[in-house]
């Protein structure tokens, strides 16, 4: 039987099932996944991060141990649900790492905290995504099922075995539609600008995010501390370039924490 705290929609262990708390962390790094992704993509990242960095991968509803929960396809609603779980962990310096869809969530979390005059991240690390103002891709989550599945195959982020098993596919399609709904969320006419550093990582081989769009993140913050770093490997270089990516993330975190690499 679950305890009341574990059954709460804001219970930390629902959102951070793989987090291993440090006794005295220097910084917490909250990691948001790509569409269809989970905390699994961040397995073993801790060993590649600077000492004292507590890794906090975020598990969204509708996948793995949260499979029975309804996926959230509205960005504002997702942030509303996630912030109460994150809030108790903001007693230390922190940063967000968001990959593809996760970049959109990270941006909105930082905006919401700033609007509330709450704690601000030492920086945002954003990967495989341009800013929402430059997102001109077709909102594939609105397509009929057959066309949506064809687009998922084109993205090459969903294992082929899922497409081969109808029951499994029907189980994950609602989550995938919700995730792409989040990823394609646009901005209002005058979105607020952040006041924190942004470090962007992308790939010149990414067919979904033009390299030029990565520079557009400069318009999302008043900070002059904006960097763009490119890696080989296409849209999912987070998998093929893990060690190089972790080295760069560590470099940026050390810089933001005021420590020499």
Catalytic machinery residues: 100
Please classify residue 171 by burial: count the beta carbons closer than 10 Å to its beta carbon, then call 0-12 exposed, 13-18 middle and 19+ buried: middle
Question: What's 71's DSSP letter?
Answer: P
- 32, containing H or E segment: strand 27-32
Is the distance from CB of 89 to CB of 216 less than 8 angstroms?
Answer: no
CA distance 82 to 205: 32
Please classify residue 162 by burial: count the beta carbons closer than 10 Å to its beta carbon, then call 0-12 exposed, 13-18 middle and 19+ buried: middle
Instruction: Tell which residue, 94, 78, 91, has the closest CA to residue 31.
Output: 94
Q: Are strands 226-230 and 124-127 parallel, antiparallel or unpaired?
A: unpaired
């Amino acid at each position: 039987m679950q305890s009341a705290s574990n059954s709460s929609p804001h219970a930390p262990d629902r959102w951070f099932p793989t987090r291993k708390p440090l006794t005295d962390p220097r910084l917490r790094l909250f990691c948001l996944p790509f569409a269809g992704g989970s905390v699994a993509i961040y397995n073993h990242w801790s060993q590649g991060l600077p000492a004292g960095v507590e890794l906090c991968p975020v598990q969204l509803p509708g996948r793995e141990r949260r499979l029975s929960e309804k996926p959230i396809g509205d960005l504002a609603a997702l942030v509303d649900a996630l912030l109460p779980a994150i809030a108790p962990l903001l007693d230390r310096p922190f940063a967000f790492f968001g990959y593809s869809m996760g970049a959109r969530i990270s941006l909105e979390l930082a905006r919401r905290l700033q609007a509330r005059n709450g704690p601000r991240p030492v920086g945002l690390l954003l990967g495989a995504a341009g800013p929402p103002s430059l997102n001109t891709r077709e909102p594939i989550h609105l397509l009929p099922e057959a066309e949506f599945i064809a687009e998922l195959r084109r993205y090459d982020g969903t294992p082929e075995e899922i497409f081969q098993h109808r029951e499994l596919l029907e189980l994950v399609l609602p989550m995938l539609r919700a995730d792409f709904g989040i990823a394609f969320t646009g901005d209002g006419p005058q979105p607020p600008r952040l006041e924190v550093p942004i470090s962007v990582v992308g790939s010149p081989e990414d067919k979904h995010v033009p390299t030029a769009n990565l520079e557009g993140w400069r318009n999302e913050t008043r900070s002059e501390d904006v960097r763009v770093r490119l890696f080989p490997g296409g849209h999912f270089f987070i998998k093929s370039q893990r060690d190089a990516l972790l080295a760069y993330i560590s470099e940026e975190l050390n810089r933001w924490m005021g420590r020499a690499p």
